[in-house]
Amino acid sequence: MQAQSPTLEMVAALAGVSRSTVSRVVNAPATVPARVVTSVRAAIDELGYVPNLAARSLASHRSRVIALIIPEDTARFFADPYYSSVIPGVARYLSATEYTLALVIASDDEPDKTRRYLLSGNVDGALVLSHHVDDVAYTELARALPMVFAGRPPGADDPHTFMVDIDNVGAAELATRYLVEHGRRTLATISGPLNMSSALDRLEGWHRALAAAALDDSLVEHAEWSDAAGAAAMHRLLDRGIRFDGLFAASAQIATGAMEVLRERGLTVPHDVAITSIDNDHFAQAANPPLTTIEQPTTAHGATIAEKLVALIAGEPVDHLTLMPTTLIERQSV
Amino acid sequence: MTSEIDAEPTVPTLEMVAARAGVSRSTVSRVVNGSPSVTADVLSAVQAAIEELNYVPNRAARSLASRRTQVIALVIPESTAMVFGDPFFASIVQGVAMYLANTEYTLNMMIAVESRPDKTRRYLMGGNVDGALIVSHHSGDHSYAHLERTLPVVYAGRPLQAETGGSSYFVGVDDIAGERGAIDHLIERGRKSIGVIAGPQDMPPGLDRLEGWRQAVRRYGMESTDLVEYGDFTPESGADAMRRLLSRGVPIDAIVAANDQMAVGAYTAIREHGLTVPDDIAVVGFDDNYFGLTATPPLTTVHQPSVELGATMAEVLVKLIQHEPVQQVTILPTSLIVRQSS
């Protein structure tokens, strides 16, 4: 099963030129007379020759591969609807370019393995989805490799960190204000994990909206980005024995878990507790009742990080931060 | 705010290592590529410099010498929606990633439909990877068949003979025996008229699970030998196939479906006809995933060890790449998980 694939030598022989002429046609056709380019390309087509990347990238320093880093915890990767809607956006944008997309599974135990892979010429750039992950390890790589982050990673102030994000503070402020405008006066929140900027920003937005309305903002619980964690946080909130009539959940998945617990404990949504959240994924849509929530355009988000990375690799000027618009979706949970 | 990447990279270079160790560029290169023609003193000086500077040899330079990339591709020629919607893929990827975590290999996953198959093929044949794992339900896509001539390749499941000449390496389960076992179980439970919702007939799981049903029908001398409808492995297609079977007006007291999603879809059609599972119609799936586990009633199914399948594929590929002896065909056992639908 070893290499029967056509070689540079075979192309050279068929076209009746030297090895180095074939190499120049592959790497720098402008330096070769058009007639020679035509005959070499005909030989390449006839033999089905694919230039070896190792040889080509030594000449051009380009691999034409873009990596998208995904977490080693593949169960989480496949369960989080964020990934399944961002990736088609990335893939569709790149399909019209010269780049191949490789989803690179990060190694948690050996971060150096992934770092080595990224820095040793395998890829021209990398995309990191920092939406639900704490990616300290990758931000420092951005000095050596073109990288674009979806979400705001730690170290985001570094001008080498290029990001596409939503205005998390503004989105949370809007979702919280919506509860106040619908007559809710005692509000609680379940935030995301506070080692993540998106969670911190959403909590900040909640505080701002309540400060503006001069309402109490002490009913705060935290959860990982999962429905199970949302359920546990809701138990803790209710166990405090303080009645509340509105909840802002930092994600639809957290809200779904919280709603289960409200039901178990005899409270109805929205009659007893009105709920708003962020994300319009299947959790928001399948919730009972369906959630009033802030939609982020995740597929467009994917296309935008890809577009930005391609521009960055090409050496074009690129904005440090791109903010994607969000939309309030009104349903039956308020 | 607008800025650009520095023109001067901050990554340590071969030249910096050479300067630090007080040797020439080509000496550093020989150390990096494992040449034996370097004295022990020089070797340790260069290695110390590499560590101090945290130098990573450029892959293009290294692999020209060693022809190794330490990258393994996992190619899934399906749509993203399919990859995320069918838990089979998640389990395979998990198994592959688990096995490779303890090796020197980095895993590249390529969802090849959206990425254009020609680009993926060029990538695989262009010296970027040491080997490829190919996981698909579909064998209709021939773009990867001739990869094996240039690259070690391991398939999940038996690839169709016509494409590969029967010389391919693969890891699979015995779909025929698995499906026969499901029907043995239904016969033991007193079922007499057993229909099948088969998968697409352009792929071995679709073909072989149907063949298992056919063999059992003959073996038990069942009267109805044409109780077959086809789906595409989605719940909706299972419901449609079940509706077609029920509309024939022939008595059916059991159904085997070629995967759990179609089995759960069949529940919907059975209920629409005012019938219950398992009292009127027993249902058995194939795969053993959360669709069956969370169904009401929980689904009896043929368990296929998907995580182990992924891990074994990775193991076979690594051995192939390293020229270690390895079996061309590895068949993992299935087992029947009896729950409340039969």
Condensed to tens digits (0 to 9), the pLDDT of residues B201-235 reads: 988 889 999 999 999 999 999 877 799 999 999 99
What confidence tier does B3 reach under pLDDT thresholds 50, 70, 90? very low
- C-beta atoms of B80 and A88 within 8 A: yes
Q: CA A37 → CA A11, A31, A52, A103, B157, distances in Å?
A: 12, 10, 18, 35, 43
- pLDDT value of position B302: 97
Angle at alpha carbon of residue B146, lines to A50 and B323, rounded to 5°: 90
- Indicate the residue of A1, A102, A119 with minimum beta-carbon distance to B108: A102
Q: Are B213 and B289 within one domain?
A: yes
Q: Are B206 and B151 within one domain?
A: no
Asked which of A92-96, A246-250, B267-271 is least confident by mean pLDDT, the reply is A92-96
- Indicate the residue of B93, B108, B148 with minimum beta-carbon distance to A1: B148
Q: What is the DSSP secondary structure assignment for residue A166, as one 8-state letter?
A: E
- Gap between the Cα atoms of B164 and B144, Å rounded: 10
Q: Is residue B7 part of a domain?
A: no
Segment A178-196 mean pLDDT: 95
- pLDDT value of position B43: 84
- B323 interfaces chain A, CB cutoff of 8 Å: no
- B13 interfaces chain A, CB cutoff of 8 Å: no
Query: What is the number of domains present in chain B?
Result: 3
Q: What is the CATH number of the domain that holds B18?
A: 1.10.260.40
Q: Is residue B316 part of a domain?
A: yes
- Gap between the Cα atoms of B198 and B245, Å rounded: 12
Q: What residues does CATH 1.10.260.40 cover in chain A? A: 8-60
Q: Are B214 and B203 within one domain?
A: yes
What confidence tier does B6 reach under pLDDT thresholds 50, 70, 90? very low
Question: Which residue of B5, B51, B326 to mutate against A (max A Cβ within 10 Å)?
Answer: B5
- Indicate the residue of A61, A114, A120 with minimum beta-carbon distance to B57: A120
Closest-CA distance of chain B to residue A274, Å: 29
- If one compares B268 and B118, the residue with the highest pLDDT of the two is B268
Question: Which residue of A83, A103, A165 to mutate against B (max B Cβ within 10 Å)?
Answer: A103
- C-beta atoms of B80 and A116 within 8 A: no
Q: Is the pLDDT of residue B137 over 70?
A: no
- Gap between the Cα atoms of B243 and A174, Å rounded: 47
Mean pLDDT of chain A: 87
Q: What is the DSSP secondary structure assignment for residue A123, as one 8-state letter?
A: -
Q: Is residue B166 part of a domain?
A: yes
- pLDDT value of position A303: 95
- Indicate the residue of B106, B116, B123 with minimum beta-carbon distance to A65: B123
* Structure-block tokens of residue B4: 């650009």
Of the ranges A147-151, B53-57, B195-199, which is most confident? B195-199
Closest-CA distance of chain A to residue B129, Å: 10
Burial class, A62, CB count within 10 angstroms (exposed 0-12 / middle 13-18 / buried 19+): middle
Share of chain B above pLDDT 90, in %: 55
Global pTM reads 0.75
Q: Are B118 and B80 within one domain?
A: yes
Q: Which residues of A touch B102 (CB under 8 A)?
A: 109
- pLDDT value of position A1: 39
What confidence tier does B101 reach under pLDDT thresholds 50, 70, 90? confident
Q: Are B168 and B317 within one domain?
A: yes
Q: What is the pLDDT of residues B284-320, one digit of tens each?
A: 999 999 899 989 999 999 999 999 999 999 999 999 9
- C-beta atoms of B59 and A88 within 8 A: no
- C-beta atoms of B150 and A3 within 8 A: yes
Q: Alpha helix locations (H) across chain A?
A: 8-15, 19-27, 34-47, 53-60, 74-79, 81-95, 111-119, 136-139, 168-181, 197-212, 227-239, 252-264, 282-286, 298-313
Under 8 Å CB pairs connecting chains A and B tally to 161
Share of chain A above pLDDT 90, in %: 53
- C-beta atoms of B56 and A65 within 8 A: no
Q: Are B268 and B187 within one domain?
A: yes
- B66 interfaces chain A, CB cutoff of 8 Å: no
Segment A270-282 mean pLDDT: 95
Q: Which residues of A touch B106 (CB under 8 A)?
A: 104-105, 107, 113-114, 117
- Identity of the amino acid at B68: R
Q: Is the pLDDT of residue B7 over 60?
A: no
- C-beta atoms of A5 and B61 within 8 A: no
Q: Is the pLDDT of residue A2 over 80?
A: no
Of the ranges A39-53, A226-240, B38-52, B91-105, which is most confident? A226-240
CATH 1.20.1740.10 fits A8-60, yes or no: no
- C-beta atoms of A120 and B59 within 8 A: yes
- C-beta atoms of A63 and B128 within 8 A: yes
- pLDDT value of position A136: 58
Q: Are B183 and B299 within one domain?
A: yes
- pLDDT value of position A196: 82
Q: CA B155 → CA B5, B230, B255, B280, distances in Å?
A: 41, 24, 30, 40
Q: Which residues of A touch B4 (CB under 8 A)?
A: 312, 315, 317-318
Q: Is the bond into A289 cis (omega within 30 degrees of 0)? A: yes
Q: Which residues of B touch A137 (CB under 8 A)?
A: none
The CATH superfamily of A65-166+298-326 is Response regulator (3.40.50.2300)
Q: Which residues of A touch B127 (CB under 8 A)?
A: 52-55
Q: Is residue B32 part of a domain?
A: yes
Q: Are B287 and B180 within one domain?
A: yes
Q: Which residues of B touch A103 (CB under 8 A)?
A: 108-111
Q: Is residue B342 part of a domain?
A: no
Closest by alpha carbon to B114, among A248, A11, A103, A296? A103
Q: What is the 3-state secondary structure (H, E, C) of chain B?
A: CEECCCCCCCCCCHHHHHHHHCCCHHHHHHHHCCCCCCCHHHHHHHHHHHHHHCCCCCHHHHHHHHCCCCEEEEEECCCHHHHHHCHHHHHHHHHHHHHHHCCCCEEEEEECCCCCHHHHHHHHHCCCCCEEEECCCCCCCCCCHHHHHCCCEEEECCCCHHHHCCCCEEEEECHHHHHHHHHHHHHHCCCCCEEEEECCCCCHHHHHHHHHHHHHHHHCCCCCCCCEEECCCCHHHHHHHHHHHHCCCCCCCEEEECCHHHHHHHHHHHHHCCCCCCCCCEEEEEECCHHHHCCCCCCEEEECCHHHHHHHHHHHHHHHHCCCCCCCEEEECCEEECCCCC
Structural domain span for residue B202: 175-303
Question: Which residue of B80, B155, B164 to mutate against A (max A Cβ within 10 Å)?
Answer: B80
Say which CATH architecture domain A168-295 belongs to: 3-Layer(aba) Sandwich (3.40)
- Gap between the Cα atoms of B204 and B171, Å rounded: 13
- C-beta atoms of B149 and A5 within 8 A: yes
Q: Which residues 107-146 on chain B approach chain A with CB closer than 8 angstroms?
A: 107-111, 114-116, 119-120, 122-123, 125-128
- Gap between the Cα atoms of B270 and A253, Å rounded: 32
Q: Is residue B278 part of a domain?
A: yes
Q: Are B292 and B183 within one domain?
A: yes
- Gap between the Cα atoms of B280 and B301, Å rounded: 18
- pLDDT value of position B163: 52
- B275 interfaces chain A, CB cutoff of 8 Å: no
Q: Are B142 and B247 within one domain?
A: no
Q: Is residue B5 part of a domain?
A: no
- pLDDT value of position B189: 96
- B48 interfaces chain A, CB cutoff of 8 Å: no
- C-beta atoms of B115 and A104 within 8 A: no
The sign of the CA dihedral B172, B173, B177, B178 is negative
Q: Which residues of A touch B70 (CB under 8 A)?
A: 117
Q: What residues does CATH 3.40.50.2300 cover in chain A? A: 65-166+298-326, 168-295
- C-beta atoms of B114 and A95 within 8 A: yes
Q: Are B233 and B252 within one domain?
A: yes
Q: What is the DSSP secondary structure assignment for residue A83, as one 8-state letter?
A: H
Closest-CA distance of chain B to residue A16, Å: 23
Q: Is residue B318 part of a domain?
A: yes
- C-beta atoms of B97 and A72 within 8 A: yes
Which residues have CB under 8 Å from B246's CB, separation 6+?
A: B252, B269, B270, B273, B275
Q: Are B316 and B299 within one domain?
A: no
Asked which of B30-44, B169-183, B271-285, B305-319 is least confident by mean pLDDT, the reply is B30-44
Closest-CA distance of chain B to residue A267, Å: 25
**In sequence order, what are the beta bridge partners of B237?**
none
